[in-house]
Amino acid sequence: MAELQVKAWLHSFEKALQERDVNAASELFVEEECFWRDLLAFTWNLYTAESREEIRVMLAATLDAAQPRAWQIEGHVEEAEATLLIQAFIRFETQQASCRGHLKLRAGKCWCLLTAMHELKGFEEKAGLRRDVGLQHVPAKGRKTWQELRAEEIQEIQRSKETYCVIVGGGQAGVALAARLRRLGVVAIIIEKNKRAGDTWRNRYRSLCLHSPVWYAHFPYMPFPDDWPVYISKDRMGDWIEAYTEAMGLMYWTATECKGAKYAEEHQRWEVRVEREGEEMVLHCKQLVLATGMSGFPHVPIFKGAESFKGVQMHSSQYRGGQEWADKHCVVVGGNNSAHDICADLWECGAARVTMLQRSPTQVVRYPAFAEAHAPLYCADSKYSTTEADLMLASFPYKLLPRLQAPLYMKFAAMDKSFYQGLANAGFMHTFGEDHSGIFSVYYRRGSGFYVDVGASELVINGEIKVKSRVEVEEVKASSVVLSDGSEVEADLIVYATGWSNMNAWAASLISQEVADKVGKCWGLGSNTVKDPGPWEREIRNMWKPTQVKNLWFHGGSFQEARHYSLYLALQIKARLEGIPTRVYGMPLVHHTS
């Protein structure tokens, strides 16, 4: 019965689209509330229509160019009796691409539709049955080995300084995108100032490990071995990134720092100035991607008297380990993931006293709850492949996420009531966000801070890590920190776990403030919350999609986002390389960072 409903809806939808009847197509969606999230397939953008009228307008603008057809179910249909929801993965074609998606029906009408480009026709990845043969097993004079061909490719780029794409940043986002581009036949160079691939992880504090499970963090094309731990250490992740760059054959330039970039209108290309092993050179490329994470530069507050401090002050990004702080008094300003990890590391290393200065409430989620939040999409026995899980997650419009997550976090609050009471008794300020929406309010909306508990919370509860909350730093003295409640905390070390500036700052630093202003804010949704003021954007600002600056792209986020959205960014870049028309629908207005 459920499968028949999906087939009937797809048939009616395809008929309306073929007849170019946008009114009939929009009426197939739930009148009271409906969403259509499109990832390139119709809009060449990441865009969400949030009503029947918006769907009608979007279709009127994009249907003739897209020419969609061959809508069908892919896999099995699921039915949830409790919510009267029927859902299924789907596939279809447009004039330019093979596409996949996900459909959610209620009472025979569409509640949520996801449409996502999967492959460009005529430019599919050379994988599976389409893979290259490689060197023929037939003797031939003068033929070259793979290693010789690879060396020639590298030498030609080094000689000509020409490449189609430059990616600034060699962490998980940069290598995921470069791997996608290489499989599409796009020449791209990763610029990374560290000496080795993976050092962005290796160089962080000693005790760091991933706070998300291994199934959530797979890289494109190469999942982690199935005997790897659920939570991967930072050094093992660094080794994996280095191995990945070699296995995928990426152009990864280590010890290379991007010094600046400008767009040369006369040549219609970017000129990227880099310093590599002490030598300055200019690379020329058509597309420039800033894959520098989801933040800008370290933010360090300026406190009265800080210059008089006789100990050591550093931002959390500079912290490497607590061995030298045994028997010392340590103060960590901040209450989020890094602050907790650093406090725990200092305690493990024998610090005389560790004090966390928590100036605003923090969300804390214990691991069993956090694992449940990822299930059933990302777990050892998930019924979904990684690709299917990514599509399923993408099928939920951002506007729905607070409503869907709030009940989950209310459940966590009840399940771990004694745990949260223990934090409160220790003076720790806890919150589940402005609307109780948990991770969503932090991650996408830049709300209150967040910590996935890997043990530091127990140290807080039992008093091993001291907490001073609801206070501000009034003054830093030679060997102490004076707080707004009149108390004074002895300190040999002050670590500022105080966050980062907007990712937009990279554009200002590497290109110009004018370009950064033209791009506007990066990340956030405009959800009209304290740290994410409106207007509502529907999608994350400026990430993985066209910006107001020609051929300038931003790429970052979690491991899952780096994996999933690198596909759409790579397809957009490939389409521009091949001259495929990419008329963008739904470009947002610019909202500046100030």
| pLDDT at site 22 | 98
pTM for the full predicted model: 0.95
Please name the residue ranges forming H helices in 87-231.
146-160, 172-183, 199-202
84-136: per-residue pLDDT in tens? 899 999 999 999 999 999 999 999 999 999 999 999 999 999 888 888 887 77
Least confident window among 374-378, 426-430, 516-520, 533-537: 374-378
Q: What are phi and psi of 30, to 5 degrees?
A: -60, 130
Write the single-letter amino acid at 495: V
Fold that domain 157-296+502-577 belongs to in CATH: FAD/NAD(P)-binding domain (3.50.50)
339-363: per-residue pLDDT in tens? 999 999 999 999 999 999 998 899 9
pLDDT, averaged across the chain: 92
What CA–CA distance (Å, rounded) separates 437 from 285?
42
What CATH number was assigned to the domain covering residues 2-120?
3.10.450.50
> Do 20 and 34 contact (CB within 8 A), yes or no?
no
| Residue 408 pLDDT grade (very low, low, confident, very high; cuts 50, 70, 90) | confident
The CATH number corresponding to 306-496 among 3.40.50.720, 3.10.129.10, 3.50.50.60, 3.30.70.2740 equals: 3.50.50.60
Mention every residue, 6+ apart, whose C-beta is less than 8 A from residue 370.
Answer: 211, 452
State which H helix or E strand residue 235 sits in: helix 234-247
What percent of the chain has pLDDT above 70? 97
Average pLDDT of the residues in 503-526: 93
| pLDDT at site 374 | 65
Helix axes 386-394, 559-577, angle to 10 degrees: 90
Domain boundaries, the chain: 2-120, 157-296+502-577, 306-496
* Choice between 136 and 23, residue whose per-residue pLDDT is larger: 23
What CA–CA distance (Å, rounded) separates 475 from 478?
10
| Residue 594 pLDDT grade (very low, low, confident, very high; cuts 50, 70, 90) | very low
Same fold, 157-296+502-577 and 306-496: yes
For residue 177, pLDDT beyond 60? yes
| pLDDT at site 375 | 67
Burial class (CB in 10 A: 0-12, 13-18, 19+), 258: buried
Average pLDDT of the residues in 289-311: 90
| pLDDT at site 590 | 62
For residue 416, pLDDT beyond 80? yes
State which H helix or E strand residue 474 sits in: strand 473-476
| pLDDT at site 113 | 98
Least confident window among 66-75, 139-148, 326-335, 478-487: 139-148
Burial class (CB in 10 A: 0-12, 13-18, 19+), 302: exposed
What CA–CA distance (Å, rounded) separates 483 from 261?
43
What CA–CA distance (Å, rounded) separates 117 from 120?
8
229-276: per-residue pLDDT in tens? 988 999 999 999 999 999 999 999 999 999 999 999 999 999 999 999
Query: Which residue, chain included where needed, has tokens 């009503």?
Result: 51
For residue 438, pLDDT beyond 90? no
| Residue 77 pLDDT grade (very low, low, confident, very high; cuts 50, 70, 90) | very high
Per-position DSSP letters for 61-72, written without gaps between them: HHHHHH--EEEE
| pLDDT at site 446 | 66
Average pLDDT of the residues in 515-535: 90
